[in-house]
């Protein structure tokens, strides 16, 4: 049977303090489980190398902690479970059993799950970097239990957690970062077009970029550079025009339109 303490006694306030600390500790473990485990190693590596100065600082502190993800996960869950299991024990000494269960569930749900996870989802990087030294201490304290379980998970599920994007995913990601996507991206339309085109190069063949010879605009090497020919060249809008000899399929070279235009103006003057 649990020992009950009278209100305003020293034991009563000690139990209240322990209960508050257990709720806060359980909330921190729950929030860190979501905040830290949602940060992939690839994301942290990117932030550590190309993020803002503050993000680089945060990522550098978190990377050593998140490197062994299964070990970290086991540690956070063990600490969270220990805090939640201990909470009804101390509540039971202050109120009835059903009240202890009701209050513990309410405290854990509100202050140990909902609020911490909502906060860590938004500020997980900053919070994770702040408590990283404390988490490293917990990792070593729980290592006798957490380490064997983490090794078993590594063996069953694999150690690597690589989240690299494929080409199609990278292209979609670039489009989302464009300022025309309506999401506040910083890339211009030309930048997104160039990057997307570069990602598609491995899927392209020479035929995809080729213009059939029958559809090309070319000029005869013996053609007269008069006004009509110059107008035709300018109307086609190409920077380079093929030059053929006698037959259109007998291409013998190219002429640069800008140089040709300068030469034509010089001759006319």
- Closest to 241 (Cα-Cα) out of 267, 216, 209, 265: 216
As for how many domains the chain has, the answer is 3
Mean pLDDT of 7-35: 82
| Structural domain boundaries, residue 199 | 167-206
| Per-residue pLDDT at 75 exceeds 90 | yes
Q: List beta partners, residue 187.
A: 178
Tell me, yes or no, whether 139 and 39 share the same domain. Answer: yes
Position 261 pLDDT exceeds 80: no
Quick: pLDDT tens for 146-191.
999 999 988 888 765 555 667 776 777 777 777 654 555 677 777 8
Average pLDDT over every residue of 20-32: 88
| pTM (whole model) above 0.95 | no
pLDDT at 6 over 60: no
The last residue of a domain, from among 157, 188, 221: 157
Q: What is the pLDDT of residue 78?
A: 93
Residue 50 lies in a domain: yes
What is the distance between the alpha carbons of residues 20 and 107, in angstroms, rounded to a whole number? 9
Are residues 187 and 227 both part of a single domain?
no
> Per 3-state DSSP, what percentage of the chain is helix, strand, and coil (rounded to 5)?
70, 5, 25
The closest alpha carbon to 256, from 211, 215, 219, 209, belongs to: 219
pLDDT of residue 1: 42
The answer to whether residue 4 is domain-embedded is no
Both 133 and 30 in one domain: the answer is: yes
Residue 250 belongs to a domain: yes
- Span 195-209, mean pLDDT? 77
Does a structural domain hold residue 225? yes
- The pLDDT of residue 182: 52
Q: What is the pLDDT of residues 215-226, one digit of tens each?
A: 788 888 888 877
Verify that 120 and 185 share a domain, yes or no.
no
Q: Has residue 253 got a pLDDT over 90?
A: no
Query: 219-240 b/e with 16+ CB inside 10 Å = b?
Result: beeeeeeeeeebeebeeeeeee
Confidence of residue 246 (pLDDT cuts 50, 70, 90): confident
pLDDT digits (tens, 9 = 90+) for 98-146: 666 777 777 777 777 888 888 888 888 888 888 999 999 999 999 999 9
């Amino acid at each position: 049977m649990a020992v009950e303490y009278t209100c305003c006694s020293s034991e009563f306030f000690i139990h209240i303090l322990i209960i508050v600390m257990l709720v806060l500790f359980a909330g921190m473990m729950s929030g860190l489980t979501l905040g830290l485990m949602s940060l992939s190693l690839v994301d942290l590596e990117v932030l550590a190398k190309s993020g803002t100065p503050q993000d680089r600082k945060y990522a550098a502190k978190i990377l050593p902690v998140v490197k062994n993800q299964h070990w970290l996960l086991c540690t956070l869950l063990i600490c969270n479970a220990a805090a939640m299991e201990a909470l009804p024990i101390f509540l039971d000494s202050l109120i009835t059993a059903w009240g202890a269960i009701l209050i513990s569930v309410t405290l854990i749900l509100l202050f140990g799950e909902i609020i911490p996870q909502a906060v860590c989802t938004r500020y997980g990087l900053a919070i994770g970097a702040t408590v990283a030294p404390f988490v490293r201490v917990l990792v070593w304290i729980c290592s006798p239990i957490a380490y064997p379980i983490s090794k078993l998970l590594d063996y069953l599920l694999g150690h690597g957690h690589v989240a690299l994007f494929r080409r199609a995913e990278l292209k979609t990601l670039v489009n989302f970062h464009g300022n025309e996507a309506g999401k506040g991206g910083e890339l211009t339309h030309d930048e997104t077009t160039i990057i997307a085109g570069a990602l598609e190069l491995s899927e392209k063949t020479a035929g995809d970029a080729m213009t059939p010879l029958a559809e090309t605009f070319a000029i005869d090497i013996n053609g007269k550079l008069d006004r009509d020919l110059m107008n035709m060249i300018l109307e086609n809008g190409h920077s380079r025009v093929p030059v053929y000899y006698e037959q259109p399929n007998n291409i013998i070279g190219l002429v640069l339109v800008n140089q040709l235009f300068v030469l034509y103006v010089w001759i006319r003057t």
